Amino acid sequence: MRARRLEAVPAPDPRQLASRARHRVLDSFWAAAQASLAAAFAWWIAHTVLGHPQPFFAPIAAGIAMSTSYFGRSRRALQMVGGVLLGIATAELLVAALGTSTVALGATVLLTMVVALLVGGGFVGEGMMFVNQAAASAILVVTLHRHGTGAERAVDALVGCGSALLVGVLLFPAAPLPRLWAAERALLERLATTLERVADLLPTGEPPDSAWLLATGYEIHDRLAALAQARARAKANVRIAPRRWPMRAEVAAEDRRIARLDLLANAVLSLMRATTAGLQAGEALPDWLKEQIGALAIALRRLADTAQPWPSALLNDVTAIARSIAEEGPSFHVDRVPTVSAILGATARDLLSVTRGDERSPPARPDVTAARPGAPVSREQL
């Protein structure tokens, strides 16, 4: 068996690294600015208005609740304040009973986390924020203990979380649609890349590497998970933030449309598996299959590369090609694998539903004869 030659991993391009870093800063700069505003406002309220000498809980709570993420601020704020209040209350009781020794510190942290796990659940207890903040607050109470400061720290935590809610939810709530569309574009880009790769493999007759199949499936499911998270955040955004309440109907309509991407992604995966299985089995796949898959790939690529909302001209083009494939696709069976043409047609129909093709009036039929073997869809028609 011939051993594979190890290839040197190319060093990362400094310009690409710098570009990625710049994009990270630009994408989250406004969120970081909002977090700094909330932290400063919390400090001012607790220190100047309420007269607390060292209200460090207030800006810490505000900054962590805001973070550099535009979504989930209300949840983080409630988890933060709930955890802080639980940690302070538990630690104050245990300090009175156990003191502030090293052993007492360990016992306090353990008991605080156990109590947080017992009472935490649902909206407040989801994730690790609630438990972590309870433990951190308990540690601060034990290590910085001064008699009578527990209530003051609890007020500071309430001030910090209130500042986060004021800045992040009431004044500057996240815009739900751009980030929902960004998650959609990321998935469409991955689906387009997958079909492009399959179309390139067909003329060669060589099956793809099994590692590529596994990696592709993982990446598509990973982006589906990110899309599901973006959908949940968008719906929570318009439900919680008063300034976003007028967008509820619009976000609900987009959510129903984008939910169909799950079917499209699974259809693309099925098409990839059926086609590559034919290659692995040495089946003779017809020439028109490459053109049909390539046409779907170009349609997905154009959707991924075009900012939302998509223009009508693009939707009409994509709809016309998808319908020509879905309605008149040739019947073709490959031994030992599912019917490739049936999966191809299902993929086209799922693409129609994503682009609202099932809700739009039928566009003019393109001047193509893609449905007939030997006369595939031309790439120029997209």
**Could you give the CA distance from residue 340 to residue 343 in angstroms, rounded to a whole number?**
5
Q: How many CB atoms lie within 10 A of CB 232?
A: 13
* pLDDT exceeds cutoff 70 at 377: no
pLDDT reported for residue 361: 38
Q: What is the pTM of this model?
A: 0.75
Average pLDDT over residues 109-137: 83
Residue 191 has pLDDT above 80, yes or no: yes
Better pLDDT: 3 or 33: 33
CA-closest candidate to residue 55, choices 133, 144, 168, 131: 144
Is the pLDDT score of 238 beyond 60? yes
Tell me the average pLDDT of the chain: 82
pLDDT in tens, 257-313: 999 999 999 999 999 988 888 787 777 677 788 888 999 999 999 999 999 889 999
- Least trusted range by pLDDT, from 20-34, 107-121, 236-250, 335-349: 335-349
pLDDT band at 336; cut points 50, 70, 90: very low
Pair 317, 357: CB distance under 8 Å: no
pLDDT tens-digit series, residues 48-100: 999 988 888 899 889 988 888 887 888 888 888 888 889 988 988 888 888 88
pLDDT over threshold 50, residue 7: no
pLDDT band at 337 (very low <50, low <70, confident <90, very high): very low
226 has pLDDT over 80:
yes
Task: For residues 369-377, give the mean pLDDT.
Answer: 35
Q: What pLDDT band is residue 124 in, cutting at 50, 70 and 90?
A: low
What's the pLDDT at 148? Answer: 55
The pLDDT assigned to 381 comes to 38
Q: Does 334 score more than 70 pLDDT?
A: no
Residue 153 has a pLDDT of 81
* pLDDT score of 5: 46
More confident residue, 248 or 342: 248
What mean pLDDT comes out for the span 25-49?
91
d(CA 19, CA 165): 32
Q: What SS3 class is residue 284? A: coil
Nearest alpha carbon to residue 191 among 259, 268, 257, 277: 268
Cis peptide before 309 (omega within 30 of 0): yes
| Residues 340, 345, 351: CA angle, nearest 5 degrees | 125
Give yes or no for a contact between 293 and 195, defined as CB atoms under 8 angstroms apart: yes
Please tell me the predicted confidence (pLDDT) of residue 220. 96
Highest average pLDDT, of 19-28, 142-151, 295-304, 335-344, comes from 295-304
Residues 159, 45 contacting (CB under 8 angstroms): yes
d(C-alpha 73, C-alpha 365), whole Å: 48
Distance CA 10, CA 19 (A): 18
- Domain annotation for the chain: domains and CATH numbers: 31-171 (no CATH), 177-381 (1.20.120)
Alpha helices, H only, 120-209: 122-125, 129-143, 150-165, 176-201
Cβ distance 205 to 102 under 8 Å? no
